[in-house]
Each structure stands twice: as structure tokens, then as C-alpha cells.
Structure 1
Amino acid sequence: MSTRHQHVEAPMSVKIPADVDQPDKILYGLTAKQVTILAGTAAACLWVLLTFGPLVPFPVLVAVLVPVAAAGIVLAFARHDGMNLDRYTLAAFRHLRASKQRVTTSEPVQPPPAWCRMRGRLPEPLRLPVRTVRQDGALELAQGGVAVIVRAGTVAFGLRTAGEQAGLVAVFGRWLNSLDAPVQILVQARPVDLTGLADHITRHAPALPDPALEEAARAHAAFLTDLGTEHDLLIRQVLIAITGHIPASATASVLPWRRRERRRVGRDSAAAVALRRAAEAVQSLAALGVPAEVLDANSTTAALTESLSPGEPPLVDTPTSDDVITHRKEG
């Protein structure tokens, strides 16, 4: 009689903090900003108590100090949408002061003449974070630097065994630890239309060698059409933005007429570094079984257009990098 020993692997659990940029705790689990807010609130309350204590009745002091202390505590500990309340208040203040209308111009918007009465506020120039899209697909950022976008697929993590999940997490962790520049991962849920796939199957169904296969293909096309009609189908897309910084020496030229050339050389070197990092990311994701590709100029432009206006057709036809732009003078 033999005894079979079965090895059961426990499910693996990995905790990832929601805020990877969470500040360090310096005192009793409080950050430096929280300690500063609480210390300032305590100092203000103490000053009011020592200054007006001999002159004002104690109940009046309590009525004044309790709201001040409560405001300081709420400002230090409260959070809204994952953001500290002080940062949220500052962002809300900037949003209220900023103009809600933007125009595509590179210069400040001039006010109207004195004889023209204007209601509301002047629009502000639209400052996009991307300056231009290069021929190699790299993005020249408005604040300096270069970025390359990698489109990646997904992997069915929940359907893997515990050992396979551990291997995937280990490979993904090695890729994250190998990064030496900021990387942004964006997960998008986009609507998908199955009409084209259904039409493709219907069009090629008569070419099948067996009538049963043709009937099955038509039934499958009808199923796809009904599925797209009855449900709002979504597909998940992952975009990875990999950056490359322009060297500081590119803008430190003494000769002004060589500064533009030095900047161009710096952008080219930063783009080459970003493209190399993107290729390494594709290889690392391939080890996970995740399909990935580095977007070229046309695909990058399409991804940016879709991000600015998701689910809507573009207002104008943007020329691709291969199109010839001509100018015709009438008259």
C-alpha cells in the first residue's frame, strides 16, 4: 500500500500600494506635511489662548479654538479621491481661477479694444504636453524630453496556477526593477465593434469547402452581430509611455548659433535611448506572454487622437507622416 503525497501550493498574494509616490513617515506615522500642518495649528491655538485668555471668557475661547483645531486636523488627515485635502483644495482653487476656454495659439490672447465690452474671461492658449511626433514615433514633449509609447496586451492572470502566477510576478518585478527612468502605464477600456469581423466571416463563408462549415460560419457571424447589438462591448488596452531625457549639455552651448543644432542632437540621442528602452520593454513583456509593440508615428498620432477625444471621430483629417502636404494659391 503506497501513500501519495500531494503538494498543494498556497495561493500567492502580492500587495501593491495604490500610491507608489506616498511620502515617508517621519513621526508617529505622520508625514512631514502633516506634522507641519498640525504644528502650525497647535501654535496658532496656543498663541490665541495665551494672548486672549486673560481678556476673553473661557467658553468664548473654546468656541473659537475648536473650529480652528478641527480645520487643521481635517486638513492634515482628510483625503478626497485619493488626494490629500490640502492638495485638493489648492487644485480646486487653481481650477476655479483658470479659464475654461482654450484656443490653439502659441502667443498670449490679446484683450479686445477698449470700446468693446466683453462678458466673461479671455480664453487662454491651449498648452498640449506633446510638441511634435517624430518620424520614428517618438514624442517631443513641451517641457523637454522625449517619450515613446508601447502598446501592450493583457494576460489571464487569474486562470494561471499559483506557480505560474509567481513566475509572472517575478518576471514583471524584474522588469520594474530594471527601469532607470520614469514610466507611465495607462489602462484604457475602449468600445469594440464586431461588425467588421462579422462581415469578414460572412464574405469568406462561401469559399469554405464544406456546406456545413459555411453554415457554421454564417451562424457565428450572426452571433457576433447580435452580441454587438445587445451589449456594450469593451476591450482593454494598455499603453506604456517610456521617457528619455535630453542631456543638459545640449542647451549649454556658449555659441548662440549652435544652440539649435545642439538641441537637435540632444533630442535625437534622447529619442534613441527611449526607443531602446521601449524595445527592451517589449522583450521583457514577451517573456510574460504579453504581446507588445512600439508604436510608429501613425499609430502614436492615432493613440493621442483617441485619448483626446475617446469614442468620437476626429474633427479634421490629420495627415500621416507619409502624406505629401501641398499648398495651392488661388486667384
Structure 2
Amino acid sequence: MSVKIPSDVDREDRLVAGLTARQLGILAATGLLLYGLWQAIGDLVPTPVFLGVAGPLMTAVVIAVVFRRDGISLDRWLLAAARHVGSPRRRVHAPEGIPAAPAWATGHASTGRARDAHATQAASPLELPVTGMTDAGVIDLGHDGLAAVAACSTVNFALRTPAEQDALVAAFGRYLHSLSAPAQLLIRVQRIDLTDQIVSLRRRAAALPHPALERAALGHADFLSGLSREADLLQRQVLLVVREPAGSALPIPPPGLLGALRARRRAPIDHQRRQAAEARLSRRLAEAASLLSAAGITVTPLTVGQATAVLAHASDPDGVAAPVGALAAPDDVITTAASRDDPPGDAAPSHDADPSEDTSGEPLLEQFRERYAR
């Protein structure tokens, strides 16, 4: 027996005339409000005048409820737009509190006149769902538990025979049936920069053993350069995200609903619960790798540097993907080359800094001032 499964499983149920319970509730509430208003002022206002006001209002509500934009109804879209306009544009991660902006950023120290509207806009605290990351690449989500991310290879489904396609679907179905905790398949598309590859090709071309190989390497570098100029290069990545709850007893929350929600989000995780959740995440990724291997899919858990790169790109989805190897882990100590004015005994070892770069603090201060002013 075959059963049809709808493709959009999250679609709301339609009750009357293709409308959901939420849409019917909004329309009914608007109609009752206008009817009550008519009963209250019907003797004072002529009927054509009332209809001239109530008709456009009811039409606007129907349009906002029925029509959709970007996959959501217009009323929700307008509400999200209003929240976006009213929310602050500058957010900083400052658990200790946000200090007052310096005089050079808010305006002239002598006159007190502001430079522009963007410079005087107050900063607000940035509350991220991620509170930390372990050495194994496990992401700490506070009271929401822990999460682990793994990269998945892809399979060309269209080129397979019908029998092979059935086998792939069956293998993927076995993995879905094995799930007992939250999991997510995330497909990310990001822009890439081939500058490092092009520079490496040109630098190593002269060391090739034959002139023909050198010409081929330089020709390929020219091809990549032209491709980068003519097109917006993208890369696709499929990620498997598994999550495990690992909450502990909550402290007494501050007064108010918002304070309670913040305390719940920032509640610490017990060490034993954390270790148990990490063990379950590791076991679930191993089970996923075993079950999905039958479908030709390779599941590779991300390292701490790779997971950090994924989170960094999620914060700036329009930016260019940074090379994973150049990112430091969240708890790594980053050092720079010692300045020539420092005494020899205080020089710190450096393995990441470029000796040719200027390590004085003045250029960095100027860059910080420009960014803060913008």
C-alpha cells in the first residue's frame, strides 16, 4: 500500500475557504470590531461615511492576511519589518556592560556636536545563542544543550538507475527512522575567493620541472582570474547538525518575563550532564556515518576551527568564506611579532604574524576609530 506524503509538512491546516484558523481569527476579530464600532456610532455618523472608512480598513486587513511575500503572510512580514526598523543597528558582545562612547566617536569634544546619526546611535548588547565551544568542536548552546556539526558529501541522484535510487532512498529512510533526538540538514551556499589559489599557482609555476607545465600552470591561473572577474563564484556545503539537551537547575530569575528568559538561556550546564551529552553527540554522529555510508554519503565531524568558520559565516552570510586553516580556535592564544622597542626579554614568540607588517598600535587605532564612527 502506497501513502502520499505532502511535500510541505509544515503547512497550516485550511479550515474554511482555504483559510487557516489564524487567518479566520484575524478576519473575525476585525469584523466584530467594525460591527461594534458601527453599533456605537452608527446614529452619529452617516452610513456612507462609515463605509468609506471601514471598507478600506477591512480590505487592507484581508490583503495583509491572505496575500503572502517571501513565503509568509503580509501581516507577519509587516510585523517583522516594524521590529527590524525599531531594533538597534549596533550590537556588541559586552557581558560586563556597554561603556559610554568616547567623545571622538559621538562628536567634537569642544562643541559637543554629533558627526552624524550613525555615530550617535546607541549600542545594544548582542545575545548570541552560542556560549562556547569545546576542543572537540562541540558547540555549547547554554540551557538549550549542546550541538555538533558534521560535513556530508553529496550523491548524484539523477544519474542513478531506478533500482539504485530506491536503494538510496531506503538507506536514507533507515537513518531517519533511527533518529531519537533533534537533527537538522543544512545546505549552505557561500561566495568563495580564489586569490590564494591564484597566487600560489603563479608562485610555484617557476619551480615546475618542464616549461610546458609552467605554461599550463600560468594559463590555469589566468583562467581562474578571469573566472573570478566575470562570475560570482559559489560553493555549496551540506551540514548535519545534531543537538542534545543538557539543562541543569535554573537560578532564581530576575523579575519580569524578559529577565526569566535571559536567565533560562544563560543557565550553566552541569559538568556531568555536559559529558553525557557530548558522548551522546559523538555516538549519534558515528551512527549517522555508519547508516549514511550505505547511501554513499560520507559524514565527517567538523573540527573546532571548521565549526568556528561555520558560525562566523552564519553571522555574515554575504561575506566571502575565509580559509578554515587561518582561523584560530576560540580559546587559542594569539600572539604577534615583538616590536623593535620592546626589550629582548619581553619578546613574545610568534608563529602567525607577518614580520613585514607594521605592528605599531597607531594604524590599528585609526582603523578602530573609522569602524566605530561608521
Give TM-score scaled by structure 2 length. Answer: 0.66
Q: Distance in 1 between matches of 2:330 and 2:49?
A: 72
Q: Over aligned residues, Cα RMSD in angstroms?
A: 3.9
| Structure 2 match to 1:81 | 70
Distance apart, 1:320 and its partner CA:
3.2
Equivalent residues of 1:150, 1:294 under 8 A apart? yes
Local SS of the residue matching 1:158? coil
- 1:104-152 Cα deviation digits (max 9, x unpaired): 2114435679x98876442011222211110121100145311101111
Of 217-226 and 144-153, more deviation after overlay is shown by 217-226
Equivalent residues of 1:199, 1:221 under 8 A apart? yes
| Structure 2 match to 1:6 | none
| Structure 2 match to 1:320 | 329
Distance apart, 1:204 and its partner CA:
8.7
| Structure 1 match to 2:92 | 103
Local SS of the residue matching 2:185? strand
| Structure 2 match to 1:256 | none
Q: Distance in 2 between matches of 1:266 and 1:32?
A: 41
| Structure 1 match to 2:198 | 195
Instruction: Within 5 Å, give how 1:70-219 maps onto structure 2.
Output: 70-109=59-98, 120-190=120-190, 191=192, 193=194, 194-195=197-198, 198=201, 206=209, 215=212
| Structure 1 match to 2:315 | 308
Of 32-41 and 232-241, more deviation after overlay is shown by 232-241
- 1:90-117 Cα deviation digits (max 9, x unpaired): 222222221101122114435679x988
Q: Which amino acid aligns with 2:289?
A: V
Cα 1:318–1:200 change in 2 (3 A) is closer
Could you list the runs of 5+ residues in structure 1 that have no partner in the other structure?
Answer: 1-12, 254-259
Q: Which amino acid aligns with 1:184?
A: Q
1:286 aligns with 2:293: yes
Of 131-140 and 227-236, more deviation after overlay is shown by 227-236
Q: Distance in 2 between matches of 1:201 and 1:160?
A: 40
Could you list the runs of 5+ residues in structure 2 that have no partner in the other structure?
Answer: 103-108, 252-266, 339-344, 347-374
Q: Distance in 2 between matches of 1:283 and 1:196?
A: 39
Q: Distance in 2 between matches of 1:192 and 1:122?
A: 34
Distance apart, 1:21 and its partner CA:
3.1
Cα 1:241–1:261 change in 2 (3 A) is closer
- 1:249-281 Cα deviation digits (max 9, x unpaired): x3269xxxxxx9971212222222222222222
Equivalent residues of 1:45, 1:68 under 8 A apart? no
Q: Distance in 2 between matches of 1:165 and 1:198?
A: 40
Q: Distance in 1 between matches of 2:181 and 2:203?
A: 43
Cα 1:284–1:85 change in 2 (3 A) is farther
Of 50-59 and 89-98, more deviation after overlay is shown by 50-59
Q: Distance in 1 between matches of 2:330 and 2:39?
A: 71
Equivalent residues of 1:186, 1:240 under 8 A apart? yes
Q: Distance in 1 between matches of 2:330 and 2:95?
A: 23
Q: Distance in 2 between matches of 1:48 and 1:192?
A: 61
Q: Which amino acid aligns with 1:299?
A: Q
Distance apart, 1:82 and its partner CA:
1.3
Aligned length: 300
Question: How many percent identity over aligned positions?
Answer: 33
1:16 aligns with 2:14: no
Local SS of the residue matching 2:159? coil
Cα 1:325–1:264 change in 2 (3 A) is farther
| Structure 1 match to 2:51 | 62
Equivalent residues of 1:109, 1:122 under 8 A apart? no
Equivalent residues of 2:143, 2:246 under 8 A apart? no
Q: Distance in 2 between matches of 1:280 and 1:169?
A: 17
| Structure 2 match to 1:4 | none
Distance apart, 1:203 and its partner CA:
8.0
Q: Distance in 2 between matches of 1:92 and 1:320?
A: 36
Of 302-311 and 235-244, more deviation after overlay is shown by 302-311
Q: Distance in 1 between matches of 2:214 and 2:164?
A: 38
Q: Which amino acid aligns with 1:195?
A: I
1:225 aligns with 2:227: no
Q: Distance in 2 between matches of 1:30 and 1:319?
A: 51
In the alignment, which of 29, 41, 50 is matched to residue 18 of structure 2? 29
Equivalent residues of 2:185, 2:238 under 8 A apart? yes
Q: Distance in 1 between matches of 2:149 and 2:101?
A: 41
Q: Distance in 1 between matches of 2:289 and 2:202?
A: 33
Give TM-score scaled by structure 1 length. Answer: 0.74
